[in-house]
Amino acid sequence: MIRTIFLFCFTILISSAIAQRSSADQISTNKGTLTIQPILHGSAVLTWDNKTIYIDPYGGAEAYTGIAAPDLILITDIHGDHMDLKTLESIDISKAKMVVPQAVAEQLPEKYKSNLVIVANGNKTEQAGISITAIPMYNLPETADSRHPKGRGNGYVLTIGGKNVYFSGDTEDIPEMRSLKNIDVAFVCMNLPFTMDVNQAAEAVLAFKPKLVYPYHYRGQNGLSDTEAFKKAVTTGNSKIEVKLKNWYPGT
């Protein structure tokens, strides 16, 4: 009887976690469907060709309830909302390769070292049939005491089944982002005071013209950024760019 009650309560908790999660989207590629699942803040899960890719896993094991263990993990930076040791230790990453910048590799525990693939800005690696290019992410102006100095963290472009998917990481409106080409899906941050405001993010998107953009990582010190204003600015500037708004903060 007690076991039955426990299983029932556990099922309710799992159902609640899944119900709060923003819905997944699907995109056709030349090798099947790419599924995009928003998780929390700067974290997303991509599923493609029977592979599961975690981006900046954050939020604890409960944030990944019902999602397969990762085959690949990408981490952008050393800050706790990107390199979240609590989450890494609470999920099964035993089979996952972890693509990281050097600064992240230096801070991860020794037990993860055999999982690591270290990639610097401008370099590439291929993992699980996915080409991954590390893109700079940094604050402007460049200063010695910047929260995000150039060269420490990585944004990423993943080429998945012929589609180019960009994750900005924590960055401002930098030339390297503006010069991106042929981006099919972009995830662009906008949280003050550490990255871009709504207008900066919109101007950057209008410069590199992704086909589809998700504003993500939009919680700052003063709350959530105005994603509707971002969408209006982008679509007014270029109606060919699709903006998808998702709730990256379940429960809010």
CA distance 18 to 207: 36
What is the number of other CB atoms lying within 10 angstroms of the CB of residue 28?
Answer: 11
Amino acid at 60: G
Average pLDDT of the chain is 91
**How many domains is the chain partitioned into structurally?**
1
Which structure tokens are listed for 64?
């990944």
The domain in which residue 221 lies consists of: 24-243
> Which CATH number do you get for residue 70?
3.60.15.10
Residues 111-167 have pLDDT tens digits of 999 999 999 999 999 999 999 999 999 998 887 778 999 999 999 999 999 999 999
Q: Give yes or no for residue 228 having a pLDDT over 50.
A: yes
Task: Give the pLDDT score at 145.
Answer: 76
Within a domain: 10: no
Q: Is residue 141 part of a domain?
A: yes
Element of type H or E holding 43: strand 43-48
In sequence order, the 6+-apart residues with CB closer than 8 A to the CB of 60 are: 86, 87, 90
Q: Give the confidence band of 8 by pLDDT, cuts at 50, 70, 90.
A: very low
pLDDT reported for residue 18: 58
Question: Does residue 215 lie within any of the structural domains?
Answer: yes
- 28 Cβ contact list (under 8 Å, min separation 6): 34
Q: Indicate the helix (H) or strand (E) that contains 74.
A: strand 72-74
Mean pLDDT for the stretch of residues 53-74: 97
* Positive or negative torsion for Cα 56, 148, 101, 131: positive
| 176 touches 190 (CB < 8 A) | no
**Is residue 19 very low, low, confident or very high in pLDDT (cuts 50, 70, 90)?**
low
Domain membership of residue 252 (yes or no) is: no
State the pLDDT at residue 143.
78
Least confident range from 37-46, 69-78, 159-168, 189-198: namely 189-198
Q: Can you tell me the mean pLDDT for 17-28? A: 84
Answer for the pair 220, 193: CB distance below 8 angstroms, yes or no: yes
Find the range with the poorest average confidence among 63-67, 87-91, 118-122, 189-193: 189-193
Distance of alpha carbon 115 from alpha carbon 128, whole angstroms: 13
Nearest-10 crossing angle of helices 198-208, 227-237: 30
Higher pLDDT, 9 or 214: 214
Q: Which residue has the higher pLDDT, 192 or 60?
A: 60
Neighbours of 213 (CB within 10 A): 27
